[in-house]
Amino acid sequence: MSNWSVNHALARCAEIDGADSTIALRSVLALDTDAVARTAAVEENDGLLRGIPVLVKDNIEALGLPCTAGSFALHGVPVRADSTVAARLRRAGAVIIGAANLSEWANIRSTGSSSGWSAVGGLVGNPWALNHSAGGSSSGSGAAVAAGIVPMAVGTETDGSITCPAALNGVVGIKPTVGSIPTDGIVPVSGSQDTPGPLARTVDEAERMLAVLTDDVALLSRSQSVDVSSLSVGVVDAWRTGHAETDALFDEALQHVRKIADGVSASHMIATSDEVHNDEFTVLVHELRSDLDNYLAGRAVSGAPSSVQEVIEFNRANADKELQHFGQEIFEMAAQSNGRTAQEYVAARKRNLEWVQQHLDGALAAHHVLIAPAYMPAWKTDFASGHPPAGGAVTTPAAIAGLPIVTIPMGLVAGLPVALSLVAAKNSEAMLIALAKSLENSLGLVRDTDWRPRFARSAPL
């Protein structure tokens, strides 16, 4: 990372990202002109990321940046202070040059949303094929890293929002154990499932950022001490994407896994049923009401929305900007709910946890790590039809249980990157990172000079 500089990042951003550039990637929503000074002002700088330019998703509070969650409802509402995430990055010497664009409100406003679009930031393009999705909801974080604007960025995940953009943009994503990184100053969806985490070009870089975000530098040495050859890896066929070329490439990647780990066999983990998905949705809707209401009330200034209901009313009054592509029916459901006090919420969360305890815990009792393909190749963005089914079966069980996921590229399908994901028990990041490093090295993609996006206008799908 020594070749990275703030000036390089800003020049790269101007070249490919702004609306006036020839590419207009729109991965960066805002820049902080005082970013270098803010890092220099930190008294005790431990230097783990010294001088490295980074982005934080625009739902994370950082001084000098807007933290709008992509919505004009929060446009101009000042942040209160650096979140713990921002403070830890600065303490490590990182320079937070800007806020990454995202799927507005982290993709929780509407069931018909198009990943990567926000009213404030516009539509993030995929640097491999600009008319294809950059994934949701940490779309700008993934696209900016893939495009070479910054070597690493912070995203957030509730269910798939780091894993998906990592996969679709051909970068590494780590969704850590829920609770291992504080979420103060982060616009919430679900307190039981939300977590920030790194997206980066390589596993090593993602690990370094994770060590900073978790305030756990010992992670770097713990991962080095893992004997990956002794790991038992369970292949979860129930989490395959259903996309023939992606799943075939995953089978090829498994040959590399078998060279690394001695115990690779089929897992008995079952598919996630509609009932489980429905319960998770109920949980998210109700936690959104309670958690976002609390956040908005704590940040609100005169004239700014202080509840989900007031955001709904703002959007209706500004429908030309906010509701031009899709609605806000999830927000409306949340506003009509009783939040965490509702009996249906309590029952749904209980059923979700019982399901993962019965099935996911059992699968992890048989294998140290579970492995599956992440998502199909990036789809063409279509505001009329929204987000299509695209795989991602690996994310929901881990989301409900709060487990870590590491996602790394495994190759190209029709010129677009696809990835595999590794899942393990809580606080098993060191083990996952060790296996991911070995697999990344065996696959050889990140050191391949051809593993770079070409900013094509379209892909031959």
Count CA atoms within 13 Å of residue 175 on its CB side. Answer: 37
| Predicted local confidence at residue 19, as pLDDT | 84
| Predicted local confidence at residue 385, as pLDDT | 79
CATH architecture of 6-227+375-443: Alpha-Beta Complex (3.90)
| Predicted local confidence at residue 20, as pLDDT | 86
Q: Is 200 helix (H, G, I), strand (E, B) or coil?
A: strand
| Predicted local confidence at residue 460, as pLDDT | 59
CA distances from 158 to 105, 137, 146, 155, 318 (A): 12, 9, 22, 10, 27
| Predicted local confidence at residue 461, as pLDDT | 53
Query: In the numeric block, which tokens belong to residue 38?
Result: 């803010």
pLDDT in tens, 206-258: 999 999 999 999 999 999 999 999 999 999 999 999 999 999 999 999 999 99
Give the active site residues: 57, 137, 161
| Predicted local confidence at residue 169, as pLDDT | 98
The alpha carbon of 411 is separated from its chain's Cα centroid by a whole number of angstroms, namely: 20
Closest among 63, 60, 51, 68 to 3, alpha carbons compared: 51
Helix ranges restricted to H, 114-236:
139-146, 163-169, 203-213, 219-224
| Predicted local confidence at residue 337, as pLDDT | 98
Contact in structure between 25 and 127 (CB atoms under 8 Å): yes
**For the chain, the helix, strand and coil percentages under 3-state DSSP, each to the nearest 5:** 40, 15, 45
| Predicted local confidence at residue 384, as pLDDT | 83
| Predicted local confidence at residue 2, as pLDDT | 59
Low-confidence residues in the chain, pLDDT < 70: 1-2, 460-461
pTM, rounded to two decimals = 0.98
Beta strand residue intervals within 221-337, DSSP E = 232-235, 263-266
- List beta partners, residue 98: 31, 55
Q: What is the dihedral of CA 331, 333, 339, 342, to 10 degrees?
A: -170
Residue for token pair 């070249």? 15
Q: Which part of the chain is CATH 3.90.1300.10?
A: 6-227+375-443
As a whole number of angstroms, the distance between CA 348 and CA 104 comes to: 26
